[in-house]
Amino acid sequence: MLSVILPAYNEEKMLGKSADIISKILEDAKIEYQLIFVNDGSKDNTWNEIEKAVSNNQNIVGVNFSRNFGKESAMLAGLATATGDCCAVIDCDLQHPPEVLVEMYRLWEQGYEVIEAVKRSRGKESLMHKASAGLFYKLISKAVNFDMSRASDFKLLDRKAVDSILSLPEKNTFFRALSSWVGFKATSVEFDVQEREAGESKWSTRALIDYAITNIVSFSSAPMQFVTVAGVLTFIFGMIMGIQTLIKFLTGKAVEGFTTVILLVLIIGSLIMISLGIIGYYISKIYEEVKGRPRYIISKTIGK
Ligand code: UDP
Ligand code: MG
């Protein structure tokens, strides 16, 4: 059986439609399936829509979060609820074309264990968004040793891969990269990102920046190395200035150089503050992990 996980946050307009379309496609392809809608604390009628879908179709399961925990948590809750031999994650706004699910399922039948859907094109995005996404993916790709620039959360995973992701103890997960991190026999299919028909994207610029920083921190310690590199560079610079100052002192020209002092204080001061900030960020993430709070809280599950 194929379990399809659909995280939903304020998707009342799209929910019924995507439930119908996806179940129709899977029924036509004669694939035994289960749809798991995870309501990520929506403020609109998404949960009512899920209840309606569950009563119309016995292959649908609904999971209701006690509040908004974010898409990462919603995907993990879906994976934990799923009982299928393989699990697919797909957006419930139909921006990920559901026909691709069938193609992915066929690849799974051929023995692939991780099937990633990669974006052929990135859809409509502003220039600013493109540039920052570019930088983010460069960093992440380097950290996971795998080209992530076209990656999406749209994937199909074998039970083995799902179980290994679920067994990870960390709280700050980055599903998109974890699926390649776990290994297994992997392949990919291409898809075109569709336009959103109704509702709106949940990603504000701030949310995107937060998402990027959290994921970089959870996957890479490269920013910490910046602290060391900056320290070494400042040390070398300091040695040169030190020698210059000594020579000036010995030759009796020592009073000049007030500008240098101010510049040094400012530059070194800001470097130290940036470095403390970076280290602080990692410490705050360690703090979050150490607290060991659950990734999400479920208030209700419906459907069989
Ligand atoms: N989503 C979620 N929790 C959130 C934000 C988004 O479950 O806090 C879901 C949303 O309902 C959708 C998917 O994640 O199914 C992708 O969200 P969106 O379409 O807003 O992102 P975009 O397609 O613009 O990247
Ligand atoms: Mg979307």
Distance between CA atoms of residues 208 and 231, nearest Å? 30
Quick check: CB of 201 below 6 Å from ligand 1? yes
**Strand bridging mode 86-89 / 2-8:** parallel
Q: Is the Cβ–Cβ distance between 114 and 161 less than 8 Å?
A: yes
Residues with C-beta atoms within 5 A of ion ligand 2 = 91, 93, 95
Residue 162 reports pLDDT greater than 70: yes
- pTM above the 0.85 mark? no
| CB neighbours of residue 288 within 10 Å | 14
Average pLDDT over every residue of 290-300: 88
pLDDT in tens, 35-85: 999 999 999 999 999 998 999 888 999 999 999 998 999 999 999 999 999
Ligand 1 atom closest to the CA of 9, numbered from 1:
11
Q: Which residue's C-alpha comes closest to atom 8 of ligand 1?
A: 70
Pocket test for ligand 1, best of 44, 45, 93, 122 (most atoms within 8 A of CB): 93
